[in-house]
Each structure stands twice: as structure tokens, then as C-alpha cells.
Amino acid sequence: MTTELSTDALAGLLDQARQDYAALAARGLKLDLTRGKPAPEQLDLSEDLLSLPGGRYTSADGTDVRNYGGLQGLAELREIFAEVLQVPAGQLLAAGNSSLELMHDCLVHAMLSVVPGAESHWVDQERLAFLCPVPGYDRHFALCERFGIEMIPVPMTDAGPDMDVVERLVAEDAGIKGIWCVPKYSNPSGVSYSDETVARLARMETAAPDFRIFWDNAYAAHHLTDEPVEIADLLGACASAGHADRAFVFGSTSKITAAGAGVAFFGSSPANVQWLLANNAKRSIGPDKVNQLRHVLFLRDADGVRAHMERQRALLQPKFETVQRILESELGGTGLASWTVPKGGYFVTLEVPEGCAKEVVARAGQAGVVLTPAGATHPYGDDPQDATIRIAPSYPGLAELEQAILGLTACVRLVGYEKLLAA
Amino acid sequence: MTTELSTDALAGLLDQARQDYAALAARGLKLDLTRGKPAPEQLDLSEDLLSLPGGRYTSADGTDVRNYGGLQGLAELREIFAEVLQVPAGQLLAAGNSSLELMHDCLVHAMLSVVPGAESHWVDQERLAFLCPVPGYDRHFALCERFGIEMIPVPMTDAGPDMDVVERLVAEDAGIKGIWCVPKYSNPSGVSYSDETVARLARMETAAPDFRIFWDNAYAAHHLTDEPVEIADLLGACASAGHADRAFVFGSTSKITAAGAGVAFFGSSPANVQWLLANNAKRSIGPDKVNQLRHVLFLRDADGVRAHMERQRALLQPKFETVQRILESELGGTGLASWTVPKGGYFVTLEVPEGCAKEVVARAGQAGVVLTPAGATHPYGDDPQDATIRIAPSYPGLAELEQAILGLTACVRLVGYEKLLAA
């Protein structure tokens, strides 16, 4: 980190930052920007869910949704999300309230029973590793840690993971069994994968015959602009490339309807779907089909999802604009930070000077603005540059958010100018 | 199998049985007695659930149940089921819609992370075995098969598993890590464990330091008589005996409210609850708390559960009485069968002459009366006596049930007298 400013000028800027920080701390705020959690007004958009399905309890095919059974989930709900998630309804599975559960369970089932194409249970493999594009999602990394799966970081580009690196690694190392991807409006960078990235992921040669792409399409319908990003169809591309079983697609309504009471989806090749259904059949006598019917009656069809997501956008867009406005006004031209301008999703990534992220997060926390721990965006919580901070603007109200981002920028200036002066 | 009847008398009885079977087959029935599935009228008792929670979305402590979080589940729902399941609310966890899922996941977590008291992950153990009281529940056995856990049958007595056998086996074999128990109105025998059985399970010495009792209290509130059976408190007994971590207690509202859309529970020692919560924290951002609130508003308290179960009993008791009446009228005094008279739960066990169960089930199926496959009550689907048939009377209407049991008894007479004549 270098600067063209004189020491006097820097001292003045630092002094101002110190005053701003002191004023922030004096306010005794309690603001939380840690998680991508919908705000109450967003949940209010799905108020009708709370009294649905009302008198109804049969699905389109006459099934009594209150009773046991129906492992694959309601066909009419899968029809709605087939389009949203780019998976044919017949290859889609509607489950419980959490797609993270489905990712966890796919790992468990791969470890304890043989996934299509595998030579053995993954627990019996000598080495087990996943590629982790960074920055990425801490809950993906936590699953790897929990199961002792080695994480290999791969840098992100503006078009997705650096495919030169990915292709080289998977070609030479049969221990690499998978890659974590958030392909649209990625957590936390907002990047959407280019068609070329999707095509290369589908066709690349992998040393592991049972390699899987964990395609966490969490923000498939979560646009923030008038130009919704469309990504290429991974599942179709994998089938065309002769790697039909490579893609595990995940999605949910957690950030569409109710974060804790939505429906999660799994989509894949027929062989993988049969494999998961067979494993699930041992685990459960079926998902909560009443909640699935509730969602069918509320969302109606893919157009209903789109209309609902426009209402979500109306609540979220002003928050993201607030973040951009304050970052620009407080940090623009300082040379202390750069940040992403996402076209969808739930996060803004702020890059601060090397070695400053932890300190910024700590200072902000001490002044009442709680951020996602620095490092959370990297495997093992270790950001080697100590530079990446994830901002989650969805939950606080607009006024609170403005306070929080102002506070954060004061901390960036404080820590940044301190470093510059010490250099 | 012997008889005091003359060959002529037997031939006459067989002839009658053949006529009855032919008449049955001619009717072209399609009756299903395979699973312990609630009837639509039972589900109608919880009709109000379909429009709850209505306008409400906050729990007693002010949590917005629509949002993420709350891994342990709603405190007020745990309070209600603390009494039903004999587990302090603080040691109870309210989860998704299936207790089978919780049993599956406890096995998974024990295999892939270290359960309190264990020396290693169970997958790394040389040998892994569970005791299986027989007759028992096929879905328990299916979990063991799925994970390669050896199943060791233990005979059931009128007071629970034969504890002399259990104590001897667990004392000498450190590979035995658990036992499956349905302690009240057992599936399928209807047996409830005596206080002495519970006390011996709690205090017995086990070679495995990480031995677990999988206590599937599926029918805790599911009485069929005016004399509700109470079982001793296993969790308390284990703690008193110095084996606090031994019991995993499971239960659910599947056969209280909605079979596919209820709430499941896990109760155990504080150490085990922490262990499961820590593992669940990697898997999910919390259970469906809206459904939990729905159940709180509908059931209100433990008295509410009791009152609701009286209404369930009013629907189920006539069905169980029908089964008893027809078994007695058609098979009583024939020497061909004996059967259980359960005081609760969902099943009647019919014992037919050795070597006849598969044939009876096959003949019944051919005539349109589908029964649980013979052998399902035993590990690996193998009933060495080929004598046990499980009857699940809950789902059909009374008239259908009567037809089905009459048909079943015709098959028992047909197969039984054929065997006697061939002997």
C-alpha cells in the first residue's frame, strides 16, 4: 500500500477518521450486517402463506398432502421451479426447508453409499478434496471442514472461477471430488458465471470419475436491476458433454418466501435423482407436502415467482443503492477500498488494503456495527490477504443501514490511514 | 404343527377355506393393510392446522418464526412435548417433519463425527452392530442395512426385549453400539416395556463406552383403552445410573396431527443435545418454526394433546375392535393362529403356523388384500419361523377393514389346513 499524499495530509485524514470513529462509538449503535437474512418487510410479502392452504389438502394428482409419502415432492411445485432452476421437473426433487441440508446430505450419502460413477464410498477414499472459488460462502466451507474434506482455493474472475486453474487441478488429481459454485449473483462477490465458464465446467476432463459440481443456485430469481442476468444451463451442458451425472443443482425459496419455512430443491441427472431418492427413502417417509401445496397456491407459476421477486427487489434495491452511495461518497477516490456493484443476490464485497480486513471488522464491532468475520469468505476462515469484507445489507432498515455503512467506512479510513502512516 | 382333527374333518375345513378364498378373490378387492398410516378422518381432526398460524408469526420470546435461526426449535412447543416424551424441555430439540430423519441423522453424525463417550468415528470402528428386538420395525432395520450395521436379533417378551440376552451381549461385545426400542405399544407387538426392563437398560454395563439406546417413543400418547400405559423415564434412569449419555429419545406428531407435516423431537442428555445441535448447525440454519408455531397454537398444551388423542382413539378403537372380533370369530379355537391385543399404538401382530406367513401374505395379495411383506418384522427381512404377520388397521374404513380381515383369515385357514393335510 502506497500513497502520494504527504505525511501531513495523511495525518489530517487520520485525525478526521478518528473523530468520526469516536462519534460512531459514542452513538452506542447495535447494528448487524453479518448474514444474508431477509428483512421483516420482505417476509410480509408472503403473509398469505400463514393461512394457506386453508381448506385444501389434495395435490393436482389427488394425493392427500397431509399424509405420508411422495418422496420426490409435489409435481406442480416442481413444475414452477423447473423453469427458475433450469432443471426438468421430472429431474427435480422438492424437499424440506433448507437447501443447505440437501448439500449436506448429498455429501453424507456420497461418503456412506456409492454415488453414481464412484468406485467406492467417499469415506474409503485415500484423499478427498473440493475446489473452493474464493471469495465464497462460509457455510459451504463449514461442510467441508465438518467432513474432513480438504479445501483448495481457486481465484474468482469476473466470469466465475479461474477455469485455467480449475481444469488443471481436476485433470491431474483424482482426490478432487467436487467444486462449490454459486453461479448467479455469487455469494459474496455478485459475479455471475459466463456461458464459457459453464461450458468449460461441463466439458472439462476430471481425473475423478465421480466428480460433482455443487451448483448452489441460491439467487436464481433474485435480481436487483432491470437487466436480469441469465446463466447457461449447466445440467444440459453436462449431459451434452457426456458428463450427465456431474451436476448437483440446489435452490430454495428461502429468500423468495420465508427464510425458515420455505421449500428446498435438488436437481440432477436421472441417475443422481434416483440415487438421492433411494437414500432419502431410508431417511424419511416424505417431505412436508402441506408446505409445498402452500407454496403452489401462493406462487401459482413461474410468472408468479417473477412478480413476487419484483416486489422483493423493490425492498432490496434501495438498500443496495444506499450501500453504493455511501461507499462512493466516503471511500471513493481515497485509494483505500474497492467494492462490487452486484446486479442481484444478497451481498456486496468490500476490498480493503492488504492486512486491514480483520482490524476493520474488529473496530466496527467495538463501535456496535457487527460484520461477518473477516476471513469467512475463505476456506478455513483464512483470507491470506486479509482484505475481503462481506456486507449483507438486506436485514436492517434503510436508516440503520445508512448508519452502519457510514460507521464501516469510518473504520476503513481509520485503519487504512493508520497503516499508511505507519508505512 | 399337529392337530387332533381327522383327515376327513380337515378336508372339510380346507374345502370351506377354498370356497371362502375363491369368493374373496372373485370380489376383486383392492385393500391395503401395509403401513401404519392415519386415515383421512384422523387427519381431519387437525383441519385447523391448514389455516394456522393465521396472522401470527412471533414466538413467545419474540422471535420472528418466518426467518432463519432457532436451531433447537420453539421453546413453547418443547414445553408441551416435554411431558409427553418424558424429557425436560431444555434437553428437547424440535425439528422437521420426521423422527426417522432424526434417527438417520444421529447414526450419520455418530459415524462421521465423534459421539460423546466414543473413542473414534463409528465408520472407523472395526465392527458395528445393533441389537434388534424382534418382531420390530422394518424402517429401523433398513437404516442399519443402509449403513452396514450388523443386526443381532433379540427376542421380545411381554415386558420388552429379553434383558438376560441383552445384558449378556452388550457386556461382552464392544462392537454392539446400540439397540432399537419402541418402548410403548411397540411396533408391531404392542408390548410396553416394564419398569424393570427400563431400569435394567439404564444400569446394564456395556463393553462399548459409546453405547446408545435408540428410544423410538412413537406411540407415547397413542392409547386405545381407558387405562393408558405409562412407561418409566429412561432418560432419568440413565442419568441416575451414571450413564447419562446412553439414551436418544425420539418422538413426533406424525400420528398426532399430520403424518407428513408434523414436528419431530429428539431428547437426550445435555452433552448429546449439544452434540446434535453442533452437527445440525453445519447442516441447516434452523427448522421450520412456522410449522412449530402452528402446532403450539393448535395443541396449546399437554392437556390439549391428551384431548386430541382421545379424538384419535375414538376413530381408531372401533377398527382395532373389528380386527379382534373377526380374528376371534374366524380363527378362534382353530389352533391356526394367535394374535396380540394391543392397548395402544398402530398394529396387531398375527402369529400363524411355522412356515406359513409368506404363503398367507402371498395368497392375500393375489386376492386383493395387500399386507406388510412377511419377514419385514425381522432384520434383513428374514423371519426364521416364517410365522409373523403385521396388521395395520388404521387406514381403511371400517367396512373395508372388515373385508380385509375376513379375507386374511380365509387365507390363514387355507394355507394352515393345506399344511396340516400335507403333514
Span A390-404, pLDDT tens digits = 999 999 999 999 999
Both B216 and B252 in a single domain?
Answer: yes
CB contact under 8 A, A282 and B98: no
Quick check: helix, strand or coil at residue B132? strand
Strand partners, A58: A64
Both B121 and B26 in a single domain?
Answer: no
Size of interface A-B (CB pairs under 8 A): 166
Distance CA B80, CA B302 (A): 5
Both A315 and A176 in a single domain?
Answer: no
* Beta strand pairing call for A160-161 and B31-33: unpaired
**Grid cell 380363527 in the structure block, residue:** B331
What one-character-per-residue DSSP string does A186-217 give? -TTT-----HHHHHHHHH---SSTT-EEEEE-
**Grid cell 480486513 in the structure block, residue:** A357
Both B408 and B259 in a single domain?
Answer: no
> Does the residue B404 lie in any domain?
yes
> Does the residue A21 lie in any domain?
yes
CB contact under 8 A, A66 and B289: no
Q: C-alpha angle B86/B90/B92, rounded to 5°?
A: 55
Q: Which of B67, B143, B282 faces A104 most closely, judged by CB atoms?
A: B282
CB contact under 8 A, B97 and A287: yes
Both B148 and B204 in a single domain?
Answer: yes
Both A179 and A269 in a single domain?
Answer: yes
Both A279 and A398 in a single domain?
Answer: no
The per-residue pLDDT for A2 is 64
> Does the residue A39 lie in any domain?
no
**Grid cell 495530509 in the structure block, residue:** A9
> Does the residue B39 lie in any domain?
no
Q: Which cell numbers in the block locate residue B396?
A: 381403511
Q: Give yes or no for residue A287 having a pLDDT over 90.
A: yes
> Does the residue A1 lie in any domain?
no
From A244, A275, A300, give the residue that closes a domain.
A300
> Does the residue A40 lie in any domain?
no
Distance CA B161, CA B156 (A): 4
**Grid cell 469468505 in the structure block, residue:** A377
* Residues of chain A found within 8 Å of residue B53, distances taken between Cβ atoms: 50
> Does the residue A163 lie in any domain?
yes
* Residues of chain B found within 8 Å of residue A96, distances taken between Cβ atoms: 96-97, 288
What one-character-per-residue DSSP string does A278-340 give? HHHHHH-S---HHHHHHHHHHH-SHHHHHHHHHHHHHHHHHHHHHHHHHHHHHHTTSSS-EE-
Both B276 and B317 in a single domain?
Answer: no
Q: Which residue of B has its CA nearest to A287?
A: B260
Q: Over the stretch A176-234, which tens digit does the pLDDT of each residue have?
A: 999 999 999 999 999 999 999 999 999 999 999 999 999 999 999 999 999 999 999 99
CB contact under 8 A, A260 and B290: yes
Strand partners, A338: A351
- Quote the minimal CA–CA distance from B111 to chain A in Å: 9
> Does the residue B2 lie in any domain?
no
Over residues A89-117, the mean pLDDT reads 97
CA dihedral A90, A92, A97, A100 (to 10 degrees): 160
CB contact under 8 A, A66 and B37: no
Q: Which of B57, B69, B254 faces A50 most closely, judged by CB atoms?
A: B57
Q: Which cell numbers in the block locate residue A130?
A: 473440493
CB contact under 8 A, B282 and A113: no
Q: What is the pLDDT along chain B (423 residues), one digit of tens a residue?
A: 567 789 999 999 999 999 999 999 999 989 989 889 999 999 999 999 999 999 899 999 999 999 999 999 999 999 999 999 999 999 999 999 999 999 999 999 999 999 999 999 999 999 999 999 999 999 999 999 999 999 999 999 999 999 999 999 999 999 999 999 999 999 999 999 999 999 999 999 999 999 999 999 999 999 999 999 999 999 999 999 999 999 999 999 999 999 999 999 999 999 999 999 999 999 999 999 999 999 999 999 999 999 999 999 999 999 999 999 999 999 999 999 999 999 999 999 999 999 999 999 999 999 999 999 999 999 999 999 999 999 999 999 999 999 999 999 999 999 999 999 998
Number of domains in chain B: 2
CB contact under 8 A, B54 and A51: yes
CATH number of the domain within which B98 lies: 3.40.640.10
Q: State pTM to two decimals.
A: 0.97
Q: Which of A57, A260, A286 faces B69 most closely, judged by CB atoms?
A: A260
The per-residue pLDDT for B32 is 87
Q: Which of B66, B97, B254 faces A259 most closely, judged by CB atoms?
A: B66
Tell me if B349 sits within 8 A of B390, measured CB to CB.
yes
User: Average pLDDT of chain A?
Assistant: 97
Give chain A's radius of gyration (CA, Å). 23
Q: Which cell numbers in the block locate residue A284?
A: 424419511
- Quote the minimal CA–CA distance from A52 to chain B in Å: 5
Both B19 and B159 in a single domain?
Answer: no
Q: Which cell numbers in the block locate residue A301?
A: 407459476
From A281, A300, A319, give the residue that closes a domain.
A300
Both B316 and B350 in a single domain?
Answer: yes
**Grid cell 422394518 in the structure block, residue:** B138
Tell me if A176 sits within 8 A of A130, measured CB to CB.
yes
Both B216 and B311 in a single domain?
Answer: no
pLDDT band at A5, cuts 50/70/90? confident
User: CB burial class (10 A; 0-12, 13-18, 19+) of residue B203?
Assistant: middle
Both B321 and B263 in a single domain?
Answer: no
Q: Over the stretch A56-98, which tens digit does the pLDDT of each residue have?
A: 999 999 999 999 999 999 999 999 999 999 999 999 999 999 9
CATH number of the domain within which A373 lies: 3.90.1150.10
What is the largest distance, in Å, between two alpha-carbon atoms of chain B? 78
From A267, A300, A333, give the residue that closes a domain.
A300
Domain range for residue B332? 7-33+307-422
